[in-house]
Amino acid sequence: MDITRATLAASIDQTLLKPVAGFGAGAEWLAASANAGFAAVCISPFLVPLASQILAGTSTKVCSVVAFPLGYSLTETKADEARALIGLGCQEIDMVMNIAAFLEGETRFVQEDIAAVVATVTEETHGAGIVKVILETGYLTPEQVAEASRTALAAGADYVKTSTGFGPRGASIEDVRIMRETVGERSGVKAAGGIRDLATARAMLDAGASRIGTSSGLEILAAWDAEGGV
């Protein structure tokens, strides 16, 4: 995949979801990330108003998480979370699917759970919002990764995403390839979890990812600059 520095930056969701990162750390991190050209910053829900303020006037979107990181919240709670986040300034939502229900074969329940969040985001943003569904692929077999991708796609998800970063493992090349093969061009694929350097980011993009979720976006761009884009 041929990329430039600008397209690399625009594929990154720069992420801060550490449980110990508060307002001060969040403001410093957001200020450093605001003008890097990232697709989005993905931050803890309580930092959304701060992110909306600091990113105002930039091309970078504000993203936050729903039912994170375990996915087993009530459907109504997930929809309410999404509604509140959109009201605070989020343009993108990364939600965790109900992994437990999926592993027991309750795909209809999982699809309806996702669809409720998609419908809420669509309504609240007049169709402009984006929903990414985290499958937490570390719990899934390759066949289940494909099935979960199909389920999220059927529910109207804009992206399928590999991992929370808090599960048994992060993204793998195999995960991304399976997800891309399953969804084709009908949705995006976000690789997240354990992506900390330029080589890994490139490999995920080459495998079919259209977004990279990482807390190391600035470091990845610095590595690009150091290597002269090679």
pLDDT one-digit tens code per residue, 3-30: 999 999 999 999 999 999 999 999 999 9
**Per annotation, catalytic residue among 13, 94, 113, 175:** 94
Look at the domain 5-227 and name its fold. Answer: TIM Barrel (3.20.20)
State how far the alpha carbon of 165 is from the alpha carbons of 18, 64, 135, 195, in Å.
10, 14, 11, 10
- What proportion of the chain, given as a percentage, has pLDDT over 90? 98
The residues near 167 (Cβ < 8 Å, ≥ 6 apart) are: 69, 136, 138, 139, 193
Q: Which of 128, 109, 120 is nearest to 80 (CA)?
A: 120
Confidence check: pLDDT of 97 > 80: yes
Question: Can you name the residues that pair with 141 across neighbouring β-strands?
Answer: none
Confidence check: pLDDT of 130 > 90: yes
Helix (H) or strand (E) holding 25: helix 23-33
Confidence check: pLDDT of 206 > 70: yes
CA atoms of 224 and 193, how far apart (whole Å): 20
To the query of whether residue 61 is one of the catalytic residues in this protein, the response is: no
Residue 174 has a CB neighbour count (10 Å cut-off) of 12
Q: Could you tell me the pTM of the whole model?
A: 0.97
- Local confidence band at 2 (pLDDT 50, 70, 90 cut-offs): confident
Averaged pLDDT score across all residues of the chain: 97
Quick one: pLDDT at residue 230?
A: 60
Confidence check: pLDDT of 199 > 70: yes
CA atoms of 73 and 43, how far apart (whole Å): 19
To the query of whether residue 161 is one of the catalytic residues in this protein, the response is: yes
Confidence check: pLDDT of 170 > 80: yes
The counts of H helices and E strands in the chain are 10, 8
- Cβ–Cβ under 8 Å, residues 9 and 221: yes
Q: In degrees rounded to 5, what are phi and psi of residue 106? A: -85, 60
Quick one: pLDDT at residue 19?
A: 95
Residue 181 has a CB neighbour count (10 Å cut-off) of 12
Confidence check: pLDDT of 1 > 70: no
Quick one: pLDDT at residue 228?
A: 79
- Cβ–Cβ under 8 Å, residues 213 and 161: yes
Helix (H) or strand (E) holding 118: helix 107-125
The helix-helix angle for 75-88 and 107-125 (nearest 10°) equals: 20
